Structure 1
Amino acid sequence: MLEYRKNAAESISTLNFTYAIDQLTLANKLVRNVNNLNLKADVLLTNATLQYYFQNYEQASKINIEAIDILKISEKRESLSGAYLIQGLINTRTNKFSEADLFYKKSDSICKITNDEKGKTSLLLARGFNELKKGNPTVAVNYFNAGITQFRNNGTKYQEAFCLINKADALLMLDDSNGHSYLSQAETSLKEALTIIDQKKYTKLKIDSYKTASKISLRKGQDSLAFSQLNDYTTKLDSIHIIYISAISSSVDGDTSVAELKKEIKDYKNDLFEKEKSESFNSIINSLSIALIAILSLLTLSFYKNNNLRAKANNLLQDKNTELMMAKEKAEKASLAKAQFLSTITHELRTPLYAVTGLTHLLIEENPKEHQKEHLNSLKFSGEYLLSLINNILDLNKLEANKVEVEKTTFDLKKRIKDVLIALKKSADDRKTILKLEFDDNIPKKLSGDPLKLSQILINLVGNSVKFTQNGNVTVRVSKIDQLNKTVKLNFEIEDNGVGISKKKQKSIFETFSQGSLQINRKFGGTGLGLSIVKNLLELMNSKIHLESQLGQGSKFWFNLDIDIPEDSAIAAQKESERDLVNYDKLKGKNVLVVEDNKINQMITRKILEKNKMTCQVADNGTDAIKLVQENDFDIVLMDIHMPGISGIEATIKIREFNTTIPIIALTAVTIDENLDEFYKAGFNDIIPKPFKPELFFAKIYNTLYKEELNN
């Protein structure tokens, strides 16, 4: 059944509607005999998509709503999000724009819960299409630009080409009279779309491109060419309609219609025969009527009692539903309050942390003495760890749901562990505890994995051992267990001779906010989050934490981890990539406007830019920023979000009213997961979360300034 539905979906995308109908018919027959709501909903969604391509929007909506009702019961969130998206597109096509927005918001809510990045990206395209149909081309272009970037990164070529065509249509709706080059931008966008379409043989998009090309030719005064292109469009469109009609016609079985007609004639003859026999039974029927009336009376009484019972049950159910709705509203309010708290506390924590990491970077760049460099590198490492720790603490639910992604990069494991021990040396010295490292020399020098998350795990485990050990030793052991092809299995042990953990407490020590006891909390402090984060990170990396401990004798935490060994070419490629990621010579002399209200952050950002020979001007608020952009010719704007007066988002919207081309990057300490759509809609080109690594900072600026050059 799944194979039939998959075949139907693939056939729709290639305009093979006859085969799609055949496969859907087979899937429909099979799904009737299977008690699986998810399968039934999937078949309905594919059928709705087919009707949408046929432009039979009323039938598509009817089928899609039926699928939505089933998916609400089955709670299959990903499919429900897709169904809401389809319903929004149907409403956009039928000019019901407000209703479309509602369905897009419903789909977006599910995508945020399930962390569905592809769904979020598809919504950028759908919302841009909705704004285009509503007659809001500027907002539509912002959506399409964001969508093009995401589709390009995901390698989703069909959607990227569709976005580029619609972006061209939106640009053609804008006025070129104020010196803007919207017509030229539309031509570029269409050219990029055609490159993809010709490579991938996207027939439907090729036909749509003729219409857009005719609009461009008309704007350029090339009437004959525009007429020729429009004629190509209508001719090809007619051929698609013929395919639609052929597919629908071939799905009608003529033999079945004849059989149904024969059956109706046979039934009619049987009815005549029955009527002739009925007269002989009239007397019997009359005698049975009295008995039937008596039975009906008894049934009526029974129904009356049952209805009373049902009414009472319904009233009770209504009361329970009311209670559930109230509980749901309370939970939603609590969730909203939590989200607002996290957003605020994130900003308040990241702002001073940006000052710490930024000043550390500047000090390292000023050629410090060797003994100072070691302390500064330790401070830099601790700052990076603290940023990662803040992110995980503030979004612990996301970590427990395995929504955090494991990255892969080449690193030196021994150096990473030494960095952890250096960072914790001061704490160990305060407790007169010695840190030791026993490292197996058979372990490859270079490994491929997520060094930051591994550092988080080790710094939590070693830090925990140091905290509970006085005048003792904390030993980190790393040994090679096995090696298969290009994967090595390693054993990590962190052992101490501290206070130890009771058998009873060992069962809950890895739970969130769990500590040994109230006395331990008062004596040693801490949040009780460290070991919980370790447990979740290891599960994310397909491993498990183990504990051996006795009170008064110390503890040993251990885990095994499979880590890849990179190819020599991969190591070289990574070094080459890191070295050539940014052409710093091209950034020299660029004029940058930094919009930031915090004086320390202004100084740090300005110095980082000026050390790279870039010129910098600072605005304290959004109002001054708007004025400076009007009066000066900046190459790029770095815009903070939380500022007195108008916010960075409001300032960007106002700048886009008179300047649609200047690159604007959000340089912000707010949590961006829930605000991406708002940033792109306002007209930002990209986002840099604070605090940042200077390499990422310059890479984002370089990619934004030279986007067109990098894409060619």
Structure 2
Amino acid sequence: MNRDVGFFNFSVNKILTRDQTILDQARIRLLYYGLWLAIITVAAILATLYIQHRQILSYSTSMLLLSILILFKYLTFRPRWGIISHILLVLGTMVNLTNVFITLQSVNIVTAQITLLIIVFSFYMLGQTCGLFYSLVNLIPILIFLVLEYDNTYFIPLKPKVVDGSTMIIAIFANFIFIIFIQNHFYRAFIKSIKQLKATAEERGNLNVEFEKAIEKVEKSSQAKSEFLSTMSHEIRTPMNAVIGMTNLLIMGNPRPDQKDNLDILKFSANNLLALVNDVLDFNKIESGKVVFENLKFNLVELMQNVCGGQKLKAEEKGLNFILEIDDSLRNREFFGDPTRLTQIVFNLISNAIKFTHTGNVWVKVTQLEDRHNTVTVDFAVKDTGIGIEKENLDAIFEPFTQESITTTRQYGGTGLGLAIVKRLLELQGLQMSVLSQPGIGSEFSFNLEFPVSTETATELAEKQPLVLNGNEGMNSLRVLIAEDNLVNVMLMKKLFSKWGITPTIAENGERAVEIAQYGNFDIILMDLQMPVMNGFDAAVEIRKIRDPKKANTPIIALTASALLDIKERVFSSGMNDYVSKPFKPDELREKMQNLVTTVI
């Protein structure tokens, strides 16, 4: 409805708006032009009745004309076509039945026309229900009158009026015009609606085509982004592997105290850079929906101590008190879950607490909330006395690449992905993070996680643990083939393995690795994945095809700096036994080698 229409408006265009449907606009136009025609017709009938000195008919016709004028004015001021239609139908019904039972006391062609008009008008304007109602209200009384008239039983003390031929001609002609006008008007509206529906369908079809193209473009863009991140990951992780690896080798070489301090700074900075790269890659993996949670057995207390061990040193370097509180009821129990993702969540929360705390304390509390024998609900809470967070910024801190403010980003650094990763990992498990924070006082982040637990005792578990020898005992007996094309990484691997008493064989590409594996005898193969001539995946497949079963089943560990989301699946589907991401930790590589080789170390 157009609220700008004034009281003295007489234009139909001003009462039509874009939000009205084609059918509603057709109804308004029908009322507008139909009322004009009714005004002219009733005025003509009134004139003939006045000339014939029919006072009663002239008076009733004048009232009808006044009613039509009022409705026309109401339509051009407030086009409430539903209300106006009901009023017109009531007036038409009253006129029709009054003519039949009182004025004319007969059913003639004019009565039939008016009844037909009411039926058509009510269905077109108000729909099926109202159409049936007004049709029956007019037809049933007329049928009753016809029955009574047929039996000569209808009688009222009023003498019927006689209408001359001219009035009848005007009424009949006008009624036909009304019927033709209504049919023509709504037929045009119907055709227009069909054409609009066809145009809309064609437009929707074109939009669907464009939408499919857009989806395809987005998918290609997403794939290109993943491939770009993988490539960049490989390009960044490869030199980082050398930097961190050489730093570890130098630290293992018993350097002087001043050299060790420099090496520690170098290692710390390299690990920070690696953490930034890992954050971006992990977030990309999470957003792509490629995260799969593992269900491994682990010791929760040991995991928390390992996570907090390095963080405690970092906190103490800032002069903070680091407090780890673990519920005693959680000790000596084995839990099932994804220790890697739990470590990632807790590590990010603790890192944030330390980063944004200048003085005071950082608490990490692990509390058992509920023990149902085979499942345990644990509450993890990280609390600090840091800068705190404004209430209106609590939602923003969980958005990717976002921190509380630009000042915070400049002062404290970081990618702004830590809490976003935490939130996504929790949401993927159907969990929510709880945050309590006051600016200048501190913050507390907490969440609850339910774990299945082993019902075995700690003694029983210890008895089942396999024997793993410490140190480098027996490592010098291993025959190792390394497939690696990067000369810096080759040098690093040689230096690392020399400390374990191993002299590895080097293959500069995948094809060469397959040739050496066919003619040599090796206990284990370390396979880089991205190499010239033949990549690591294809090389592993070819090695598994070697006729000698012993050589074909040689354990293979993939060494990869790639971050492709499906890297793990591709590694195992190509026949490799395990993989280590570059930059790797020497202890992690040694442990995996010990677990895979058949020789007792």
TM-score between both structures, scaled by the size of structure 2? 0.54
**Residue equivalent to 1:54:** none
Tell me, what secondary structure is at the counterpart of 1:327? helix
Letter in 2 for 1:404: V
Please say if residues 381 and 419 of structure 1, whose CA atoms lie closer than 8 Å, have aligned partners that are also in contact.
Answer: no
Are 1:476 and 2:367 an aligned pair?
no
User: Is structure 2 residue 230 aligned with structure 1 residue 343?
Assistant: yes
Aligned to 1:524: 412
In structure 2, the partner of 1:325 is 212
In 1, Cα distance between equivalents of 2:344 and 2:195: 63
Question: Where does residue 561 of structure 2 map in the other structure?
Answer: 669
Aligned partner of 2:581 in structure 1 is: 690
Q: Who is 1:457 aligned against?
A: 345
Code of the aligned partner of 2:203: L
Q: Distance in 2 between matches of 1:534 and 1:676?
A: 22
Provide Cα deviations, 1:461-510, integer angstroms capped at 9, x if missing partner. 22212222223322333444443324444433322222211110013322
SS at match of 2:295: coil
Please report how far the alpha carbon of residue 642 of structure 1 lies from its aligned counterpart in structure 2 after TM superposition. Answer: 2.0
Write the letter of the residue equivalent to 2:566: E
Please state how far the C-alpha of 1:632 moved relative to its aligned partner. Answer: 4.5
Q: Distance in 2 between matches of 1:341 and 1:351?
A: 15
Quote the Cα distance in structure 1 between the aligned partners of 2:280 and 2:460. Answer: 35
Structure 2 unmatched ranges of 5 or more: 1-186
Does the alignment pair 1:536 with 2:427?
A: no
CA contact (8 A) 2:511 2:534 kept: yes
2:281 maps to which residue?
394
**Alpha-carbon deviation of 1:627?**
5.7
Q: CA deviation at 1:676?
A: 6.7
The match for 1:424 is 311
Cα distance per residue 1:279-316 (max 9 Å; x no partner)? xxxxxxxxxxxxxxxxxxxxx99999887556534432
Give the match for residue 394 of structure 2. 506
SS of equivalent residue, structure 2 residue 396: coil
Is 1:436 paired with 2:326? no
Partner SS, residue 579 of structure 1: coil
Q: Counterparts of 2:330 and 2:269 in 1: how far apart (Å)?
A: 26
CA contact 2:373–2:455 (8 Å) conserved in 1: no
* C-alpha RMSD of matched pairs (Å): 5.0
**Inter-partner Cα distance in structure 2 for 1:356 and 1:407:** 33
Residue in 2 that maps onto 1:153: none
Partner of 2:77: none
Q: Secondary structure at the match of 1:642?
A: coil
Contact 1:412 1:445 in 2 (8 A): no
More helix by share: 1
Aligned pairs (5 A) from 1:635-654: 636-644=524-532, 646-649=534-537
Q: Structure 1 vs Structure 2: percent identity of aligned residues?
A: 36
More displaced, 654-663 or 432-441?
654-663
Measure how far apart 1:395 and its partner are. Answer: 3.8
Kept in 1, the 8 Å contact 2:333–2:458? The answer is no
Residue aligning to 2:489: 601
Aligned counterparts, 1:373-392, within 5 A: none
**For 1:401-427, what per-residue CA distance to the aligned partner results, in whole angstroms no more than 9, with x for missing partners?**
4833143333252x5444444423454
Equivalent position SS for 2:436: strand
Letter in 1 for 2:416: G
Largest Rg, 1 or 2:
2
Within 5 A, what are the aligned runs for 1:295-374? 311-352=198-239, 354-355=241-242
1:340, CA displacement in angstroms?
0.8
SS in 2 for 1:469: coil
The answer (yes or no) to whether the contact 1:686–1:700 under 8 Å persists in 2 is no
Cα separation, partners in 2 of 1:657 and 1:560, compared to 1, 3 Å? closer
Equivalent AA in structure 1 for residue 365 of structure 2: R
Change (3 A) 1:406 1:360: farther
* 1:585-617: CA deviation from partner (whole Å, max 9, x where unpaired): 998745332111234432454466566665521
**One-letter identity of the residue aligned with 1:423:** G
Q: Which has the higher contact order (CA 8 A, sep 6+)?
A: 2
For each residue in 1:632-653, what CA deviation from the matched residue of structure 2 results, as whole angstroms up to 9, or x when unmatched?
Answer: 5555543322235554456567
SS at 1:409's partner residue? strand
Which residue does the alignment assign to 1:515?
Answer: 403
Q: What is the correspondence of 1:52-131 to structure 2 with a 5 Å cutoff?
A: none
Deviations 1:204-228 (A, max 9, x none): xxxxxxxxxxxxxxxxxxxxxxxxx
1:402–1:570 distance in 2 versus 1, CA, 3 Å: farther
Give the 3 Å change call, closer, same or farther, for CA 402–615 of structure 1 in structure 2.
closer
SS in 2 for 1:329: helix
Find out whether 1:579 has 2:467 as its counterpart: yes
Counterpart pick for 2:382 among 494, 515, 528: 494
